[in-house]
Amino acid sequence: MRNIAFATFIAVFIGLGYWFIAPKFSGHQQSMPMGSSIVAVQLPPDFSEQALIGRSKFEANCAACHGTNAVGKDGIGPPLVHVIYEPNHHGDESFQLAAAQGVRQHHWSFGNMPAVQGITRDEVSAIITYIRELQRANGIN
């Protein structure tokens, strides 16, 4: 009889211990599948002409990693419509540098960004206009 009580006690003890510890090891937070968008982005009522040029350049050169409308792709590229990339923290030149030289992983854990081949400064300027208009439509100034 005492053995059964003891065994029950041990079983409950292990069960509770597992319940307590398991979430820390099971990748509990990784509920988002790879590639899903990281933020929700509101579009402005309309874009300037320069931003529309930037949008098509962004879709061709950047959206594969940064997502359509720069919403980010989990595990691949960060959302650029994000307070981290507001003009005071990441000025326009940091976009030019990112495209020309690539970026070492530092804010996220998605690896390095490679330099973008065959894009001009003017095209990146148009992309910056597009991203800034998206940012402003989402209260990021």
* Nearest distance, CB of residue 9 and ligand HEC, angstroms: 49
Distance CA 133, CA 116 (A): 22
Kindly state the number of chain residues that form the binding site for ligand HEC, as judged by CB under 6 A: 24
Structure tokens at 73: 């792709």
* Nearest distance, CB of residue 69 and ligand HEC, angstroms: 13
Distance CA 60, CA 104 (A): 22
Contact 69, 41 (CB under 8 A): yes
* Nearest distance, CB of residue 30 and ligand HEC, angstroms: 17
Q: Which residues contact 97 (CB under 8 A, 6 or more apart)?
A: 103
User: Hey, which residues between 67 and 126 contact ligand HEC (CB under 6 A)?
Assistant: 77-78, 90, 94-95, 98-99, 103, 105-108, 110-111, 113-114, 116, 119
Kindly tell me which of 103 and 137 has the beta carbon lying closer to ligand HEC: 103
